[in-house]
Structure 1
């Protein structure tokens, strides 16, 4: 169901009205017609292709279940984009929670003594605490860029920033992290 990169118009008002009234054929036409637009938007917001596909499917399921609650037929695109954006943000937040867990569970480097093992564990916890102590905007950019390893362009796009703004925020996050770690030691 891909659209080959070309923009498709949203289904017309008559189809939306019929779908709102419960007409199954119109609901099918509506979902099929909305899919390329929803998928393109999800691909532009989500951090991975899998998340984009999942967000698209979730949005289309919500469209199917709740089309009758849409008040204005002209608001379909806005409604769908809001659903997709919320789903991409939800998926990103879930992955961010996993990253914080992963940071605290980082494998410790090989050590020759119990003392070194204990110190390495303390270091990992200090880093995790310092990251958790960053302001949310700095923590987001640091985790996406330095922990997840996403490209600068992907991080900027996901956060709705220009590339220079993302780089500036990342620089501030790294400086704050460094300062926080120096304080802790």
Structure 2
């Protein structure tokens, strides 16, 4: 947050204040991880408005349930767990809305909408390869890359054991590599 080495202590103070109902403390906590949350949602859902909705819902749920946070040190992973659940809900709704049964669950209209979104990744090939992953693979890679989480943490948030997380992540990254760098 401020780079002076007191960040973990300051964050814990903010968490404790937020648990007591301090809106400003919660806002500062949220502001500190907004970009990571949004990137995770955007890469998982692949639609800007739905990603913004997922983050907004996550923040509302987190604020309402802030007193239920058991371990203050787990605030960030708790937020990502809530966001993961929101993203999964939105993905299910997208599939129901489109009625698509393609590999990624998008109809031609949804695919057109996704392609028209600005390329936040900066590299179209990487974004395209990421989009080719199935839902679980996208979530695991996003937790790892955007959240900076280790396999055991991702496992707790997704319900997989750490070895499964590692193997799914390895397969997903290999799949992406083959898409980005096809053999000649």
Gaps of 5+ in 1: 1-8, 104-130, 132-138, 168-185
CA distance in 1, matches of 2:69, 2:34: 17
Q: By how many angstroms is 1:152 displaced?
A: 4.9
CA distance in 2, matches of 1:90, 1:154: 18
Q: By how many angstroms is 1:162 displaced?
A: 4.2
- Contact 2:104–2:132 (Cα < 8 Å) also in 1: no
Q: How many residues align?
A: 123
CA distance in 2, matches of 1:68, 1:60: 14
Summarize the Cα distance change of 1:31–1:37 in structure 2 as closer, same or farther, 3 Å threshold.
same
Summarize the Cα distance change of 1:163–1:50 in structure 2 as closer, same or farther, 3 Å threshold.
farther
Gaps of 5+ in 2: 1-6, 115-127, 138-171, 179-184
Q: By how many angstroms is 1:12 displaced?
A: 1.0
Match of 1:114 in 2: none
Q: By how many angstroms is 1:50 displaced?
A: 1.2
CA distance in 2, matches of 1:97, 1:163: 30
- The structure, 1 or 2, with the larger RCO (C-alpha pairs under 8 Å, 6+ apart) is 2
Match of 2:167 in 1: none
Aligned partner of residue 71 in structure 1, secondary structure: coil
**Residues 125-150 of structure 1: CA deviation (Å, up to 9, x unaligned):** xxxxxx5xxxxxxx6x2534878436
Match of 1:76 in 2: 75
TM-score normalised by the chain length of structure 2: 0.55
Does 1:24 find its partner at 2:23? yes
CA root-mean-square deviation: 3.2
TM-score normalised by the chain length of structure 1: 0.54
From 175, 178, 182, give the equivalent of 1:164: 175
